[in-house]
Structure 1
Amino acid sequence: MGCVIESHAMTIRCKKLSKSKHWLLFFATLMVLGSGACVSRKTPAAALSTPEIRTAIESIPALGTNAAPAISESDAGADRSPTPEAENAEGLLNPLTGQSVLDAERLERRPILVKVTLFPRNNRPQWGLSYADIVYEYYTEGGLSRFAALFYGEDAEIVGPIRSARLVDIQLVRMYAALFAYGSADYRVLEQIDESEFADRAVREFPAGCPPLCRIDPAGQNHLVTDTQALRAFYRDRGVDISAPNLSGMSFEDTPPEESEPGVRLGVAYSADDFHEWVYAPEVGLYRRFQESGGDSAEVVALTDRLTGEPIESANVVLLKVPHAYYAHTPEIVDIQLYGEGDALALRDGKAYDVRWIRPYPEGVLYLSLPDGAAYPFKPGTTWFELVGTSSSVMQEVQGYWTVTFDLP
């Protein structure tokens, strides 16, 4: 399955290659999305009631209301960058965000990698994504993608819905020496996890149980979720080493490199059913995530965090072109070979840069390099990595509007 999102005269077109040859026309005013004005947004789903949460995870504090917090336009674009007090404090820098951390103990622990679903659509909005330092999005199967969210500098009292693991998660756990929480996996993936050097740091719903992985049932959907603090306590109580690994490798600077192209929008189509956009909002200096809304609808809506009611935003959005190969066809299992190096496109501050991604060794943190070999500086803040196949097309038909069509050879 393939899909093309084309930006020309504010038009998005998507073609289902595997199902039919008819064109679906999607109209979107992209610059309006970037400004945050007159945007079609889904109303955030109601937050869980306090009794429901306490039943599932005793350590989660009361939310105090059944309604998702109301947000104004100014609140929705609130800057999550460090306060001046944090920047001027003696605190250390988070090696995954380049931001100051007042509580040094937060940097004396392992990161946590959690698998978070994107489909089915009624699982949206998800919990806790806005608290992740880094999020990887990648192809799973059937034309759909999924998230792997890495939590280090901040904790989230609810993360989920949690879903099953894939082969590439093994690479991510090794890269960040992380604790790993997932729902389940194909038996071939489970075998590799259970036989790995990090088997004692990987927990799935069975046999672990609740806590740390618990079922909650808003609107009868029976979601699997976790609490990052409870998850660390689970590992600590079982004698697992949760001390911080070496996470150095990424570089950060407030000022972007000079040599650049415009980068105000990145549209990624994993298929005709799964496509999204990152749109730069200059008033906050961050990229906002917008997601398809289902069926043949032309509407893209802001992806929000159910935990806060706020839109998902990121300081950096990076497209990684990574070799993809079939590990199995039935069921579809794809081996995403995230090691070595490859081409990448990095967006920050409304600018785009052709760079290289580099993962020098299995336990090494992925970083980026400029064409002259110098380290590429991420903007301090969160980073979302979009993984696509090496044969995926990357086009800039309108200046600053980048469109990506996923392709799996």
Structure 2
Amino acid sequence: MTNKTSLQKSLGIGLTLGVTLLWLLGVTASGLVAQHEMNEVFDSALEETAQRILPLAVTDILNRENGARNQRAPALKDHDEYLTYLVRDRQGNLLLQSHDADPRVFGPLPQEGFSNTSTHRIYGASAVSETIYLEVAEPLAHRREAALEAGLALLMPLTFLIPVSLLGIWWIVRLSLRKVVDFQQSIESRGAGDLSPVAGDQLPREFEPIALAVNRLLERLHRALETERSFTANSAHELRTPLATALAKIQRLKTRIQSDQLKADIADIEESLRSLSVLSGKLLELAKAEGGGAISQSRHDLVPILAMIVSDFESQAPGRITLTLPESEVTSFLDPDAFAILVRNLIENAIKHGSREQPVEVSMAADGTLRVRNGGNLIPPDQLALLRNRFARSKTHATGSGLGLAIADAIATGAGMTMHLRSPATGRQDGFEAELNVACI
């Protein structure tokens, strides 16, 4: 599980959230401004209504017959009143009221100007030397309802704009990063052995240094590998040729000498030269295995290579090897030469250190799993863990340099594979087994 996410996803979500937040802030500010303006309009309407009604109310009150007190203004038809009014004298006596007015909404004594109660906004005006007061009341709930409807009207478009913005931002970000994604895919799709420069000409300016650095790294790596391979090839020629020449001279000298003692000494020298030749060959194989040349640029069928190598060993150890091959091809990016070196070392190790009474089992499955098993004594876990090291050997009387498994492990590691070493072998009570999957590259 990883916490990493893509740049496209981060930009898309971040920009959408940012735009949405700005819109919400804008709607909030617009709603507050609209509410302030609506309050001014409502206050103006209250004041205008009072100024219109007051002369009519004064005329009606002054033209009444003596003793007439409170009267209720008739309604032409039933309707809900947002504005209600009372007409009172200075002492608060009720003279006139609208048909739906509730006197409890107003204060005990009339007053001029604007005032608020917990439920209403009230405006009062006076006439006839401040003896008659008119007060008009408007429910605050009406104002809140109007502000809420205005806010909802501003918010409603966001339900459509946010998804549209998300799609638009995602499309723009994806279009802008298309070259970056192509650059990423070109690196991921190439084989591990492809060290050619990566095309970065069409990348955005911010990513050009990355492409330049990658190409420089690939160039340095390519030069290092070529130098390593050149050194390995030259060393093989410079070491093997003199050793072969010295071995040939020793063998000719051996045929000319009659003394048994000198022949025995020369035989020891001959064996030492053979061991040195084998050791130099193993060291060169190890250098090649650790030089990074285990991966090729194309896939190869490894089944015929394995069959050929086992056939070569049959001439050296007749009847010692049993081979099991799949009916289908097993292709891999593993370099054929590196695969041949790996298999040769595993089989050679099994023949040298395995029991001579039991065959060496070499098998490859259709999924690419390669197994080399041999009989023999069990290897303790502490020694088994050290067999991958150079010159490490288990307790055995067989000759060897202790480099075979180190070479095989170096090739497997360089190709990104894992080589499993087991003792006892799978399905047995003894023996040794090496297993790896060559098709997992």
Asked if TM exceeds 0.5, the reply is: no
Determine which structure has the larger helix proportion and give its number. 2
Determine which structure has the larger strand proportion and give its number. 1
- State TM-score, norm by structure 1: 0.23
Considering Cα pairs closer than 8 Å and 6+ residues apart, tell me whether 1 or 2 has the greater RCO. 1
Query: Of the two, which has the highest radius of gyration?
Result: 2
- State TM-score, norm by structure 2: 0.21
